[in-house]
Structure 1
Amino acid sequence: MNTIYLDNAATSPLDEHVAGTMEPFLKSDYGNASSIHHMGRKSSVAVETWREKIAKIIGARSSEIIFTSGGTESNNSAIFGLLENRTGKQIVTARTEHNAVLYPAEHARKMGYEIIFADIDETGKVTPEALRKVISKDTALVSLMHVNNETGVINPVPELASICKEHDVPMHCDAVQAVGKIPVNVDELGVDLLSMSAHKFHGPKGAGALYVRGGAPWSAWMHGGSQERGRRGGTLNVPGVAGMGKALEVAADGMSDHISHIRDLHQRLYSGLSEKFGDLVRFNGDPENGIPHILSVTVTDSGYKPLDGEMLLLNLDIEGICCSNGSACTSGTIKPSHVMLALGMSEELAKSTLRFSLGKYNTPEEMDRTVEALFEIVTRHSDSVPSL
């Protein structure tokens, strides 16, 4: 049985060009980039070369790129590095953010900060009007994502960042689901800090970066060495840096073709589910205007009752189809997605939601097979099969 991998928002397969770029730094060119001998200098030169290329792709200066272990570290570093330099005691974010933002915010609450959640519209976007209602002179920072990891909804980041500038409040943007998938330019977005993670765009796991605009009120959060100009202690992951740089270079060079391909896949999957299931499926977010890489679907049986999400995932897996429900799985029990709950769903409907996330290696035939497999599974578990 061939595997159909539709969980690219969780992680994506390593591009073959990326593996080739990383290999020398895993075998022969293994020097520590902080060492002064020739092996160390070779690694250091590679790091700075890729730093410059990554910066250029997102419209930044190389000095504004700090390498990290991934999106979670970048988000934590952004939030706590800003709080260290701000007098305000409020953090503005949204309930639909990734837990890598919500959990640090919750930790900051224990430090005496107040968490203010901006309202979202029916699709899950934070509108400029919603941000204006909650930002104030006591706002220490605003942290709002570019693309939602569960629904694919795109926030109007330039407008949100403009409001932050009006109030002299720094804005951090979790762009983990945007960088490498759609064009991202930090000046066009207007953000002060931006997080990215390599394994979301066919790079290696354990490699990421934080963009910090020059002059932003931010200081190092992770200490232990003078690496990254004293902004992030710890031995640099040279193979990861090289892999991330190459992955972003490949993504940028082929972005137009990849977006067109994935948009076609998205439409095929969307249309196939709509035609096969009718009103037994609900598409979440803003499928027509969101990122084409993600399609969130809530599935009900023929009696319009929510189906067991764990059952759907396990049965799809038996068919060789890998997807997710976009939420955490603890001790084998699927919890309702906090994003779906924030959109007003009941816990039962939230648990009956699937996230299909597409990548450049997926095919139209895989979309058709996924529709058929899901239909067969729902039919088997429906209370009244004839109405399907």
Structure 2
Amino acid sequence: MTNIASGRNMMRRWPYNWLLLAALLYAPLLFLGYGADIDAQQVIDSGVTLMNAGRYSPSRYPGYVVHEIPTAVLNQAGGAPLANLGTLAMALWALYSFARLLEYYALPQRALLMLLLLTHPVYWTNAAVTLDYLWALALLLFGWRCLLSGGYGWAGLALGLAIGARLSSGALVALLLLMQFISLPGARWRLIGAGLLTLLLALLFYLPTLLTLGLLSLYFGDWNSIDYLLNFFYGNLLFFGPQLFFAAPFLLVLARRFRPRLTPEQRRLLWLCLAVIAAYEALFLRAPLEAEYLLPLLPALLLVLGLRLPPRLLWLWLALQFSSNFLHINLSSLNGNYHSGEDLQAALFSWGSVSWHGQSTELTWGLFVRWGYLLTDALNRLRGALSV
């Protein structure tokens, strides 16, 4: 009985060990200013206007009110460290919700999947900045948990807030509600209620901006279809890290023979996650600007990997991904891209040969060694903080 009770206590405690590790990894980023991305300063400017003039002015179209208003209060109270602490809290909340999803779907290798999320270069980099990406992701994952546990009111509230944090959250929200609607005929009226609450909140958050500014079209400069494809390719490369990006096809080929028996619930999860990945890749093809735009697909991707990859390949995936935090060994380099602060840090080694050209973008093939995604961002933030 003692061993059984001890095992149950360990199962209850296991996510908190990873949350503690994540907090220790993310905490140093609190003190490096608001963030290297210019959008972080725009969020602060929006908050200053709100606190000083009592007027809400979106930091960017169409508004990110669920992040902007709490951040305005945090910044007023404690400056950049406290504003960043709000994001760090959301990063930990997202990790906790992801851990509970792993438990619900009974995935093996849960600890390894947690490591894959908390050390992902884009997740780690954005875990303590004054930006909205992880605010939206935390609310999405919490809403997902609530749907699974039957808390439809909480789910509608969380998913509506997620859309208010980032409008693109609507793609995952729609797929989650649709999957539950198909899978649970007896809960359809409650799901409709949750969907209506989500829609009402989304309208509340965005109608004022839409009524004031109208619908704006996306414009990224003088781009043709090749520019879109090159930026789409390079944005994915940065999101996954070049070491993993170029190795992933071989890892997936090696995993073909690994066919674990899935429960009906896990099979539905697999199809849902594949739909989420396809949806956000399609959105990214339309607006291939920031690697962070792909963050909503990261939990879905990790759930797929947990279902389809054997442990040894997951460990190799983790090693390749982790290395990209600190070093990029890249076979390509993009000039004219929106994706990172690479241009602020000189390459450690650069050799290029063949180039592909768009209207405003050039992709060069060769060998390019740079500091990794996390380290590049931290150096840029440190430079900005020291120059203030």
TM-score (norm 1): 0.28
User: Which structure dedicates a bigger proportion of its chain to strand?
Assistant: 1
The structure with higher relative contact order (CA 8 Å, sep 6+) is 1
User: Which structure dedicates a bigger proportion of its chain to helix?
Assistant: 2
TM-score (norm 2): 0.28
